[in-house]
Amino acid sequence: MPKINFCPSVRSSSSDSGQSLLIILLVTAVILTIGLAVASYSITDIKISQQEEESARAFSAAEAGIEKSLQIGAATNTTIEGITNSVTQEVQGEAAIFDFGGAKFPSGELANVWLVGHGVNGEIDTTTYLPYNSPITLCWGSSTTIDSSTPALELALVYKNVAGDFKVIRQGYDPNSGRTVGFIAPDDIDGGNCNANLAFAKNINLAIGNFGLIATDVPYLLRLKFLYNTSDQPLTVTSDNNFPSQGKCYESSAKVETSGITRKIRQCQFFQAPPEIFDYVLFTTGDLVK
C-alpha cells in the first residue's frame, strides 16, 4: 500500500497584520480628527468669550466717557477697568444749518429749534437770537414718494410780544395735497433739499404771512412735529443767519489695546424745552378770573 504523507497547511499572517495596521491608522486618524475639532471649537469658544468680555469692557468705558461728559457739559476722557476712552464734542447750532445731530423722528415726537440763545448753565439768553425776519427753510423726508405714510410737518412758533405775553402760532405743511385741512403744500417735493438730499422743503419767514411777527416780538422756539409717517424721518432747518446754539453731541470711543476691539457711542444733549402741553394751555403767573 502506498504511503501517503500529509503536510499541514501554513497560513501567512502578513496580510492580517497589514489590515490591522490600516484599521489602527484609520481609527487613530478619526480620533485625532475628532480631538482636533473639539480643541478647535474649544479655542474658538474661548476666543469668542474673550472678545465678548473685552467688547463689554470697551462699551462700558465708552459709556462712562459719555456719562461724564454729559454730567459736566464738556468733553472729558475717563479711564475704567484700565481702558481710557476718547471723547469728542460737536456743538449743535451756531451755524446756518441744523440737522438735530443726524437724528430721525417718529410721528408725533417734537423736535425743537431754539431761536434764542442759552447761557453756560442752560438758561435762556435773549441777547443771542435769530432775527425775527430771517428766512428759514424746513426740509424733511427721506423719500419723494407721495402716499398715505408720507410725512406731513406741523410747526408751532412760540414767541413773546411787547407786552411780555407768550403766544403760539401754528401752521402745517403736507406734501399729500388734500389729506389735511388747513395744511399748505411744500415749495419743493422733488428731493435734494437743505444739502442733505431731503425730499420736501418749505421756505418761511416769521415776519410774513400767517406768522406776521413785528420787530418788537421775540421769537423763542420752533416746535416741529411729523404726522402720518410710519418710519422715523430726517429733519433739517437752514437760514441765511446762524441759529443760536442748540446743545452738544458727544462721541466716545474706547479701545482695548491688546485685542484692538473698539466701541463707539454717540449721544446728543439739546437744551430743554417746555412739554408739549405748553402749546395747548393758557398760562399765567397770576390768578385766573372767570
Q: What average pLDDT does this structure show over 10-31? A: 71
Q: What is the mean pLDDT of residues 104-113?
A: 96
- In which domain, by residue range, is 165 found? 95-243
Query: pLDDT: is 142 or 12 the higher one?
Result: 142
pLDDT value at 215 more than 70: yes
Residue 21: its pLDDT value, please? 75
Residues above pLDDT 70, as percent of the chain: 89
Confidence of residue 9 (pLDDT cuts 50, 70, 90): low
Share of the chain above pLDDT 90, in %: 57
All residues at 6 or more sequence positions from 108 whose CB lies less than 8 Å from its CB, including other chains: 225, 226, 227
Rounded CA separation 222/129 (Å): 13
The amino acid at residue 9 is S
> Which of the pair, 4 or 247, is modelled with greater confidence?
247
Our measurement of the distance from residue 238's CA atom to the centroid of its chain's CA atoms, rounded to an integer in Å, reads 20
Query: Quick check: is 156 in a domain?
Result: yes
pLDDT bin (cut points 50, 70, 90) of residue 3 is: low
Question: Is 213 a domain residue?
Answer: yes
| Residue 257 resides in a domain | no
Residue, of 244 and 13, whose pLDDT is higher:
244
3-state secondary structure 14-66: HHHHHHHHHHHHHHHHHHHHHHHHHHHHHHHHHHHHHHHHHHHHHHHHHHHHH
Contacts for 266 with CB less than 8 Å, ≥ 6 apart: 101, 249, 250, 251, 252
Q: Within the chain, where are the H helices?
A: 14-72
Count how many domains the chain has. 1
Nearest Cα to 256, choosing from 89, 77, 76, 52?
52
Q: Is residue 251 part of a domain?
A: no
Residue 7 above 70 pLDDT? no
Q: Is residue 124 part of a domain?
A: yes
- With 90 as the cut, is the pLDDT of residue 150 above it? yes
Q: What is the pLDDT of residue 151?
A: 98
Domain-embedded: residue 69: no
Is a pLDDT exceeding 80 seen at residue 4? no
DSSP count for the chain of H helices, then E strands: 1, 15
151-177 tens-digit pLDDT: 999 999 999 999 999 999 999 999 999
Mean pLDDT of the chain: 87
Q: What is the mean pLDDT of residues 36-48?
A: 73
- Asked whether residue 79 is domain-assigned, the answer is no
Q: Is pLDDT at 94 greater than 70 in this prediction? A: yes
What is the per-residue pLDDT for 97? Answer: 96
- pLDDT value at residue 241: 95
256-270 pLDDT, tens digit per residue, is 887 788 889 999 999
Buried b (16+ CB within 10 A) or exposed e, 71-85: eeeebeebebeebeb
Task: Please indicate, yes or no, if residue 10 is contained in any of the structural domains.
Answer: no
Residue 114 has a pLDDT of 97
Choose between 79 and 163: higher pLDDT: 163
